[in-house]
């Protein structure tokens, strides 16, 4: 099942790449904007609940699709680019095993625990 989920994420990453190729931006814009969604981690400065909410908003694929669809519907390439970057970034994160966050801590994700295992939280295989 894990391989099937990774294949799905790879397909979404390739879809985002395909969409990007058809946008009116230079090739370097995608790698240059790739890490921008991770700025949402700054929410953790306000605590784990706010951090998880801000991180999840920026990394949820529904957000990516909504922003991209708004850009397409409004004829705004910048919004379409933002949605494409969000989808690309989120799919890449999921390929690496980084999921949406729980308010209990940055390492607690919907895909399992990320980071070092502790005595109370075993590592996910």
- Residue that is written with structure tokens 């919907």 in the block: 110
- Tell me the pLDDT tens digit for each residue of 84-100: 999 999 999 999 989 89
39-87 confidence digits (pLDDT tens): 999 999 999 999 999 999 999 999 999 999 999 999 999 999 999 999 9
Residue 105, SS3 per DSSP: strand
pTM listed for this prediction:
0.87
Distance, in Å, from the CA atom of 20 to the CA atom of 16, rounded to the nearest integer, reads: 6
> Between these two residues, 82 and 113, which has the higher pLDDT value?
82
Burial of 17 (0-12, 13-18, 19+ CB in 10 A): middle
**Cβ of 30: how many Cβ atoms within 10 Å?**
19
- How confident is the model over 21-40, as pLDDT tens digits? 999 999 999 999 999 999 99
């Amino acid at each position: 099942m894990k391989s099937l989920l990774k294949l799905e994420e790879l397909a979404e990453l390739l879809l985002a790449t395909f969409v990007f190729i058809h946008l009116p931006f230079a090739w370097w814009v995608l790698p240059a904007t790739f890490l921008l969604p991770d700025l949402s981690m700054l929410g953790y400065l306000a605590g784990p609940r706010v951090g998880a909410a801000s991180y999840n908003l920026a990394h949820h694929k529904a957000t990516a699709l909504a922003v991209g669809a708004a850009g397409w519907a409004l004829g705004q390439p910048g919004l379409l680019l933002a949605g494409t970057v969000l989808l690309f970034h989120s799919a890449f994160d999921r390929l690496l095993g980084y999921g949406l966050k729980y308010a209990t801590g940055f390492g607690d994700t919907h895909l399992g625990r990320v980071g070092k295992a502790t005595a109370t939280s075993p590592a996910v295989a």
